[in-house]
Every structure is written in C-alpha cells, then in structure tokens.
Chain A
Amino acid sequence: MESLTNTIQSVPLNHYILLSTIIFSIGVMGVLIRRNAIVIFMSVELMLNAVNLLLTAFSVYRGDASGQVFVFFIMALAAAEVAVGLAIIVMIYRNTNSVDINVLNRLKW
C-alpha cells in the first residue's frame, strides 16, 4: 500500500482540478445533447462523481478528513436521488410509453 500511495506524490493539485473539470463538463454536455431521460440521469451521476473526486483530492491535500465525510454524504444523497428519479421515470413511461424528454414539453406551460 505504501508504494501505491507514493505514486501520487508528484501529481499537482491543478491536475486533479483539471480532471474533475473535464468530467463535470462531459456530464453537462450529456445532459444537453441526449434525449433519453435515463442517460440524462447517468450524466448527472457523472457530474456528482467528478465533485466527489475533487472533494477527496482537496481533503488529502489539506490533510482534513471532513472532505471525505462530505463525499460519504453525497453518496447517500445520490442513492436517494436515483431511487426517486428512476421511480418518476418509470411512472412517466407508464403514462406516456416513452422516456423521451421531448414528450414532456407540456411541463413548459
């Protein structure tokens, strides 16, 4: 385990921020370009995970365990969000026979 953790010794913090930025933006793009509601949910999960990784990197950088506890809470929240969101998607599918979000444009008015 020692040799494993020594591998990050020379990675600058900026590179972690860069990685999380790119993955978060990929999640944003996924929300914008897809029409399948389930894939949009998966893109939201991607964004949540990018934030989790950045929180952990900051926590290790500062030597403060609070960041990792926050990641734990975000994971609990993501589980709750996915359960409710997928139930809503199942209900929408039952009513409209589709998970295409363009069917739901009545929500606009």
Chain B
Amino acid sequence: MSTFYFIAFLSIFFSILVISAKNPVHSILYLILTFFTFTVHYILMNAQFLAIVNFIVYMGAILVLFLYTLMLINLNKESEPVKPFMVKFAGVFGGGILIVALVASLKSMGISNPVILKNPDLGLVKNLGKVLFNEFLLPFEVSSILLLSAMVGAVLLATKDPKAA
C-alpha cells in the first residue's frame, strides 16, 4: 500500500519538474522518469501488457522522437523567452481551480471501495489479445490506417518543398 503512495508522490514530483524545468532537454528527461513511474503503476495493477507497451512505445519511441526533434531544432542560441509573471500566475491559478473543482466533485461521492484485482490475469497478453481480436477487431484495423496516414502526413510535412528550396 505504501508503495503506491511513494510512486504516486514520485509521479507528481517529476511531472511538476517537467513543466518547471528551464531547459527543454531537462523537461524531456524528467518526462521519461514520469513515464517510468507510470509503468510501475501499471505493474502494481498487474497490467503487464500495458506496462510493457508503455515502456516501449512511450519511453522508447515517443520520447526519443521528442529528443530528436529538439536536437534538430537548435535552441541553444537564445534561452527560452519566459512569459510575464501575471500570465504564469493566471495559468497556475487556473490549473489549481481545475484541481479544486474535480476534488470537490470527488468529495461528494463519499468513501470508495478499494481497488481489488478480482481476476489476476486480467491484464495479461493472452486475455487482452482475446478481447482485442474479438470485440475490438474493427477499431484495431482502423488504427492501422490512422498510423499509416499519420506517417504519410509527417513525411509530407517535414520534407522540404523542392520548389521553395
């Protein structure tokens, strides 16, 4: 039980560091740590498939993509311009209001039951594969079209226009 609270504290701590770090590279490194704590959360819930996918897709693919883009874009010549203090304060205040509103609506629900894993192999690959390829077969195939179109769009957007160059 205390493991959950420790990992939850680490998640919140690192995600605050993500948005407060001055250097964007440090932000990405803190984001990797945040996603690692999310992976630990998935393992604690015995969602092994999601833990592995989170590890490979988020930490392996998406964040490396972020790092590559950041290194392609040469940001070291001027430090990042900061917003005026009032705008920052308004942003933090708005986020705080969102937390207060959601927590207040949570309070009205009263005490909740503990999260108990009734079926231990709920999140295993075998069980999820059966669900994915029976009930969710059509969305699965549609997501392949989504990824293909995203790939074509990214290549189209990021390549230089030969006429302009």
| Residues of A participating in the B interface, judged by any CB pair closer than 8 Å | 1-2, 4-5, 7-19, 21-30, 32-36, 38-39, 41-43, 45-46, 49, 52-53, 56-57, 59-61, 63, 65-66, 68-69, 71-73, 75-84, 86-91, 93-94, 99-100, 102
Which B residues contact A (CB, under 8 angstroms)?
Answer: 1, 3-5, 8, 11-12, 15-16, 18-19, 24, 27-28, 31, 34-35, 38, 41-47, 49-50, 53-54, 57-58, 61-62, 65-66, 69-70, 72-73, 75, 80-83, 87-88, 90-92, 94-96, 98-99, 102-103, 106, 109, 111-120, 122-123, 127-128, 131-132, 135-136, 139, 143, 146-147, 149-151, 153-155, 157-158, 160
How many residue-residue contacts, CB under 8 A, span A and B?
A: 255
Q: Which 4 A-B pairs have the closest CB atoms?
A: A32-B91, A80-B150, A29-B95, A30-B19
In-complex Cβ contact of A60 among B69, B117, B154 (8 A):
B117
Contact indicator A30/B18 (Cβ below 8 Å): yes
**Which residue from chain A places its CB closest to the CB of B1 in the assembled complex?**
A10
Q: Inside 8 A of A65's CB, which chain B residues have their CB?
A: 122-123, 127-128, 131
B44 touches A33 (CB 8 A): no
Q: Which residues of A contact B96 (CB under 8 A)?
A: 25
Say yes or no: A39 contacts B27, CB within 8 Å: yes
